[in-house]
A and B are shown apart, each in its own frame.
Chain A
Amino acid sequence: MYARALIWWTILRICVEERLVYRGDFALGTLMRFLPFITQIFLWRAVFASRAEPTIGGYTYNEMIAYLLLTNISRAFSSMPGLSTALAALIRTGEIKKYLAQPIDLIGFYLLSRVAHKLVYYLVAAAPFALVFYLCRGFFAGWPDAVTMTAFMASLVLAFLLGYFLEATIGMVGFWFLEVSSLLFVYQLFSFFISGQMFPIDILPQGVQGFVDLLPVPYLAYFPVAVFLGKVQGADLVRGLAIEVGWVVFFMLASRFALHRGLKRYSAFGG
């Protein structure tokens, strides 16, 4: 157990070091992240100004802006830039051999490296995030209670795991298609609209929302924010977390299965 923890720690530490090589790239990326947000503020201000009612789908203007701000946090957990393409490249170039010949688990190893990516990212991004949230504090009603906060944290961790295993599964498709970028594009397009990055899912008509809720993507952006804002509570919260856990387990198994089958195919083509 201790030995295993030490392996993980070393992998984590080395991945953190590797990421720090690119620190300049990050700092800029983090600031850029908030640029589209400014246009979103103007957009929603115009939308709200053109309407007689003060709310849209139960969101006031302030809540809408708070919502959009907070999706940046859930996305900071769930987005996995370059993961699928990196895995597909591993297969295409044959670098995957290293993970087959060494006593190391590919999916576990990449999970740790992504934890490291995130840790480094939070370290660098904490200050710009804090600044933006401080400037925008007027949009927030206040801090949620302890239970909501705990559920929010849990939904973020699950969003990270879901994001990882989902993109890992897409990457494994590289065993069948050498290039996964078009598949990834379709997924990203899809997730852009229904993950809640652009607007909260619950402003959609009831029937559509009920269906979208069952898909994995809203748990990458919408769900944690809805939890934070107190939009899902009680039984709904439990149900939401249960669905999220379900999807995490599903993609965990799917990525393993794809790797297993993929390696058989890989072998059939001579590696």
Chain B
Amino acid sequence: MAIIELTGLTKSYRVYQKQEGLLASVRGLFKRQYRTVEAVRGVDLQVEQGEFVAFLGPNGAGKTTTLKLLSGVISPTGGSARVMGHIPWKRENAYRRRFALVMGQKNQLWWDLPAQESFRLHQQIYMIEPERFDRTRDELVDLLDVRRLLRQPVRELSLGERMKMELIAALLHSPEVLFLDEPTIGLDVIAQHNIQTFLRHYQQLRKITILLTSHYMKDVAALCRRVVIIAHGRIMYDGSLSGIIDRFSNHKVITLLFAGDEPLPTNLDRYGEVIDQQAPKLKLRVPRRKVPEALAGILASHAIEDVSVEDPPLEEVIAEMFALTGEAAAKERDADAIAARVV
């Protein structure tokens, strides 16, 4: 049975619409206009125990809202969700002791105290037995290499160090499900890499289920086999990372290194779009079906020193896809608006 099960989950919320200007502000004291935002529109999802799933999507796509629903911070407008058999928004302690939520932009530790005090507090509120607590803490502290920082007030830690402490605090009670909302946001490349390495290692070790949202494709590529792409509150894709390219990109990028000092040929646009040219190098974007034909043609008529055929960068594919779904959603909204006017 799936450990996380979402069926037709929807969440819409109201946002206050403030007009510009002082007069409008005064009017806002008496009568306010609200706009309904449909953050999540009918999400169905099943996650098996031990999966490491990434939620990708542009800002405002509904990723964080979904995580908030799953951690019980908010309740849905419709649909249902079960995590380990619990309904999250009932906020039963039995459920809350079995998962953890880490938000990259929110601090859960005590600001003025050393992290070890926050750990001690977690030991109590999650009712962790002393021996197990010591063992788990030591293990996590060593894995993340932060022993020397335990006695330092949290406010004096760097962002990366703090995120490590946040992760330790969240994992002390050995949650079976972990929700990570942008855990590497604002971190430098090295810190990001450290967090990724830790998460991968820990997930393999403990076989826990992790749902991660991130803007960094590197996080996703390093950690998750399964990627769920959410845009405009709907799931647009659910599958492997490489599958995204197969499904959403029908182009390949051919990079050619020309031999000799001759100027680059100008007649290559019949095979595809020239996306970059800096002699002796030229990049060509070619429809996937036409790759063999293009290669044969080019190699037959030019002296080529090196050639490579690659998938376009994942970021590009996803950005393109978001742009497409964005247009679709905008059309849908317009259609709704027209329908509303007609009625």
Contact = CB atoms under 8 A, between A and B. Distances in A.
Contacts of A17: 113, 117
Interface stretch (B96-104, B139-147, B268-276): B96-104
Contacts of A267: 13, 74-75, 89
A95 B110 CA distance: 12
B39 A104 contact: no
A102 B126 CA distance: 8
A154 B82 CA distance: 47
B96 A103 contact: yes
Contacts of A94: 106
A3 interface: yes
A7 B126 CA distance: 9
A6 interface: yes
Contacts of A14: 110, 113, 117-118, 120-121
B68 A97 contact: yes
A271 B73 contact: yes
B10 interface: no
Interface residues of A, number: 25
Contacts of B93: 103
Interface in B139-193: 153
Given A14-B110, A17-B117, A97-B106, 5 more contacts: A6-B124, A100-B91, A101-B96, A101-B100, A266-B74
Contacts of A103: 93, 96-97, 125-126
A269 B75 contact: no
B319 interface: no
Interface string B35-64: 001010000000000000000000000000
A3 B127 contact: yes
Classify the secondary structure of A's interface with B.
helix
B203 interface: no
A17 B11 CA distance: 41
B13 A268 contact: yes
B72 A100 contact: yes
Contacts of A102: 96, 125-126
Contacts of B68: 97, 270-271
B315 to A, nearest CB: 28
B112 A97 contact: no
A270 B97 CA distance: 24
A107 interface: no
Interface of A: 3, 6-7, 10-11, 14, 17-18, 21, 94-95, 97-98, 100-104, 264, 266-271
B101 A101 contact: yes
Nearest to B120: A10
B74 A18 contact: no
Contacts of A264: 75
Contacts of A7: 124-125, 127
Nearest to B155: A21
Contacts of A11: 121, 124-125
Nearest to B118: A14
A109 to B, nearest CB: 9
Contact of B73 (A101, A104, A268, A269): A101
B77 to A, nearest CB: 9
Nearest to B88: A101
A92 to B, nearest CB: 13
Given A97-B101, A101-B71, A270 B65 contact: yes
A21 B111 CA distance: 11
Contacts of A3: 127
A268 B121 contact: no
B38 to A, nearest CB: 11
A269 B113 contact: no
